[in-house]
Amino acid sequence: MKKMLLALGLSGALLGGSVTWAEEAVTAPTPSEQITVNDTVEPALIESSDIITTETALPEVVAAEEEAVLDTGDTAWILVSTALVLLMTIPGLALFYGGMVRKKNVLSTMAHSFVAAAVVSLVWVIIGYTLAFGEGNAFIGSLDKFMLAGITTDALSGTIPEILFVIFQMTFAIITVAIISGSIAERMKFGAFVAFIAIWVVVVYAPITHWVWGGGWLGNDGALDFAGGTVVHINSGVAGLVAAYMLGKRMGLGRESMAPHNLTLTVVGASLLWVGWFGFNGGSALGANGSAGYALVVTQVAAAAAALAWLVTEKVVRGKASVLGGASGAVAGLVVITPAAGFVTVGGALAMGLIGGVVCFWGITALKRALKADDSLDAFGLHGVGGIVGAILTAFFASEFIMGDAAPASLMGQLWVQVEGVIATIVYSAVLTFIILKVIDLVIGIRVESDDERMGLDLSQHGERVE
């Protein structure tokens, strides 16, 4: 995956330059050949510099091809994409989640997304980036870029400044952490959440990012994850499910109304997520190029297809197609297409969106009941399930038409690599999330007191409330 990302990032520079040769190619004589000069040519006119050999020209050509060159178009696009991805968390996810909880918990729920942006930003520049993208080994990056050491304004990552790549990847880490908050809404201590995300982004997110995008073992095995199916969605969904189990169910669940207090906020949030996802998937091309354009198109197609598939399924199962269902379906489609956005055709995106909409509806209904976990806002049902479906379907729909020679040579071989990545991410994320939460629970506790939960987390945790 790293090689593919670097290739996409370098494409503008490599395609923009060409090597032009002199009017005629002159080859060096072999040892058995003699240079003869006829009477009409002055010997003095033949200089040693006039003889161009392959041996002398090749190193210069190779050096020109390997030298990274800043591309202002690519840089401008990633600047915009970075803002779009941050927009997905604040205010997008904050509004999406905030509208779905009860009124007494709306501020605390939105605060989870807001504080994720603050905490992860600092942790990422201090140690997260170097663990994810430092040289390191197959499992974790080195500390050579601790506190962004050595990253100057002139340092490049492909055709964009490396410092821009740092913050672009930071926004991915932020939204991954914020997604987890959907599973623990309305019952987790705010301080415990802050401690958890600060540790989790270093211990869980950074290593898995390195596996896939930072030169680690999954990327080297050929796992396809264009914009974060495993790194972001499966990772956060599984962590959220584990956290939901450890926290236990909300008080009154199944006996009291848990209806969303303001679906207007949720629809606005879902709309911002949809728009921001253009930066999420399109920006992952790491350049202003055809790959980015295609990623935007398939992202739109998959989201639309999943929204309609969800609405139809909901109409058949429940008798009515809800607005919340349409918003959830669109998010499901966006999640499913994320790992495949740079690898599939429009037809593949359409199929993935339709499948994703139906499967994620099942994930938040039948599967959620079977798991018996209080995944409050369906972080696992949408992101975990959607990420797993998307990662697996990527093997089926990865297209030579889009990928060219980089397309998988064997469907079954690629399918195994994708499944390998899914399993590894699930196991690692689940085990480490459990350990982190267990330690925090022993030290300060992770769940609010019953009286505080009845009062509402807005008042009990923040001393504020929405009138």
Residues facing residue 157 across a β-bridge: 160
pLDDT over threshold 50, residue 8: no
CA distances from 71 to 10, 78, 334, 342 (A): 9, 11, 29, 20
Residues 170-181 have a mean pLDDT of 97
pLDDT in tens, 201-232: 999 999 999 999 999 999 999 999 999 999 99
What pLDDT is recorded for position 192? 97
Count of beta carbons in the 10 Å neighbourhood of residue 406: 14
What is the pLDDT confidence band of residue 82, given thresholds at 50, 70 and 90? very high
Write down all domains in the chain, each with its CATH number in brackets. Answer: 77-249+257-462 (1.10.3430.10)
Residues 303-331 have a mean pLDDT of 96
Q: At what angle do helices 263-277 and 72-87 cross, to 10 degrees?
A: 160
What pLDDT is recorded for position 22? 32
pLDDT over threshold 50, residue 366: yes
What is the pLDDT confidence band of residue 66, given thresholds at 50, 70 and 90? low
What is the pLDDT confidence band of residue 16, given thresholds at 50, 70 and 90? very low
pLDDT in tens, 435-456: 999 999 999 999 999 999 999 9
Residues 59-82 have a mean pLDDT of 78
Residues 302-327 have a mean pLDDT of 96
3-state secondary structure 104-162: HHHHHHHHHHHHHHHHHHHHHHHHHHHHHHCCCCCCCCCCCCHHHCCCCCCCEECCEEH
- Pull the structure tokens for residue 356: 């994703």
pLDDT in tens, 31-61: 333 333 333 333 333 333 343 333 334 444 4
What pLDDT is recorded for position 14? 30
Q: Among residues 291, 288, 273, which one has the least CA distance to residue 340?
A: 291
Q: Report the greatest alpha carbon distance in the chain.
A: 108
pTM of the full structure:
0.84
End-to-end CA distance of the chain: 49
Q: Is the Cβ–Cβ distance between 330 and 353 less than 8 Å? A: no
Q: Is the Cβ–Cβ distance between 398 and 415 less than 8 Å? A: no
Per the prediction, the chain carries an average pLDDT of 87
What is the pLDDT confidence band of residue 467, given thresholds at 50, 70 and 90? confident
Alpha-carbon span 423 to 289, nearest angstrom: 33
What pLDDT is recorded for position 217? 96
pLDDT over threshold 60, residue 372: yes
Token look-up 């207007």 returns: 264
pLDDT over threshold 60, residue 25: no
How many residues are listed for the chain in this entry? Answer: 467
What pLDDT is recorded for position 1? 39
Alpha-carbon span 338 to 271, nearest angstrom: 17
pLDDT in tens, 112-158: 999 999 999 999 999 999 999 999 999 999 999 999 999 999 999 99
Alpha-carbon span 413 to 245, nearest angstrom: 35
- Pull the structure tokens for residue 163: 């410092």
Alpha-carbon span 410 to 426, nearest angstrom: 24
